[in-house]
Amino acid sequence: MVSLTPLQHRVDPNADLESVEAALRAAAKTEDDFLTEVASHLIPAGGKRLRPAFVIAAALCLDPKGDQSERLTDEMVRGGVAVELVHLGSLYHDDVMDEAETRRGIEAVNHRWGNLTAILAGDFLLAKASELAASLGTEVAELLAATIGHLCEGQVRELQLIYDINRNEEQYLQAISGKTAELYATSCRIGGIVGGADRAVVDQLTEFGHAYGMAFQVVDDILDLIATDEELGKPSGNDLKEGVYTLPVIRMIASGDPIAELLGQQLDEEVRDQARAAVIEGPEIATSIATAQMYVDKALSALVALPDTPAVRGMRDAATNLLSALER
């Protein structure tokens, strides 16, 4: 299986992420045992930890010895934990909005403890992320605050178009830029900042992260249609059922496919599976994969001017391997 982590050329990428994991667990702890339990619920359930991995890789992008394990610093770990906490907090809120029952193969926080607790725990995680960002300086604090704002804007854009069969590609791309790509861009930018890179390099890393994030979300949306529940760790086809029309579905509607007449309302599982099969059997999956590849190519272009260090090779390979998840 190909590796998706940008740390793949480090001596021991697992050790890097274990440092992040320990700090992540510590950040979710509070004097209130119940809040600690809720805030920590998803941490042991796994996750690729791609965002903190990109913080570390970006921080080491100019280091010709960046494959050596002792190069990891406390600032890199704190930056990685900050972006992962934002991601976790957003998942808590996403699951409330989606009325999700599972996340990463375990019971979702909202399903186990209720919406109010899930919202407050998500807010707590965002607050802890902001606290860590502030410890890295004003620039990082302002950057993460702006990113959280963009994430909310992206989600609101998506919510405004639930069950809207007139949602177009531009609206879709704006939404995923805010809700997904911005956090990857910020991860890479924070890495560049704490790694001491000059402004031109920081901007190149940011461009890479944004393009990678766009490709990542398009791939994720395709997987929601073609993968199994077991592969996703949550019900497949849920976006279609809940009226979140992603790129393949938008293109199917635009093609005039008669199955589009079933959309515009909440679907039961039988109709959802019928619509899902229509998308899978049509050309829209292939054209959406081509769009994801376009963003991968854009991400790779952003790295061209950077030296061929272990970290840059890892970022490049992570982007190149992104579409491997779609292989069937």
Q: Any idea where the domains of the chain sit in the sequence?
A: 13-316
Picking from 5, 49, 50, 55, the residue whose alpha carbon sits closest to that of residue 24 is 49
Rounded Cα–Cα distance for residues 171 and 154 (Å): 10
pLDDT of residue 133: 97
pLDDT of residue 104: 84
Rounded Cα–Cα distance for residues 132 and 75 (Å): 10
pLDDT of residue 328: 65
Count CB atoms within 10 A of the CB of residue 306.
18
Rounded Cα–Cα distance for residues 216 and 26 (Å): 28
**Pair 221, 247: CB distance under 8 Å:** yes
pLDDT of residue 2: 63
The CATH number of the domain covering residues in 13-316: 1.10.600.10
pLDDT of residue 199: 97
Rounded Cα–Cα distance for residues 290 and 310 (Å): 28
Longest dimension (CA), the chain: 59
pLDDT of residue 21: 94
Kindly report the pTM of this predicted structure: 0.94
| Beta partners for residue 240, in sequence order | none
pLDDT of residue 233: 66
Q: Tokens 């300086």 map to which residue?
A: 137
pLDDT of residue 101: 84
Rounded Cα–Cα distance for residues 117 and 122 (Å): 8
Rounded Cα–Cα distance for residues 301 and 210 (Å): 12
Rounded Cα–Cα distance for residues 246 and 285 (Å): 11
What is the DSSP code (8-state) at residue 322?
G
Rounded Cα–Cα distance for residues 56 and 69 (Å): 11
Count CB atoms within 10 A of the CB of residue 164.
14
Sign of CA dihedral 233, 102, 155, 132: negative
**pLDDT average per 10 residues of sequence, the chain (328 residues):** 82 90 96 96 90 97 83 94 97 88 88 95 97 97 96 90 94 94 98 97 98 97 88 78 93 89 87 88 95 98 96 96 86
Instruction: Tell me how far CA of residue 133 lies from CA of 8, 30, 78, 194, in angstroms.
Output: 26, 18, 8, 11
Picking from 286, 288, 318, the residue whose alpha carbon sits closest to that of residue 300 is 318
Retrieve residue 306's tokens: 């950077």
**Pair 190, 294: CB distance under 8 Å:** no
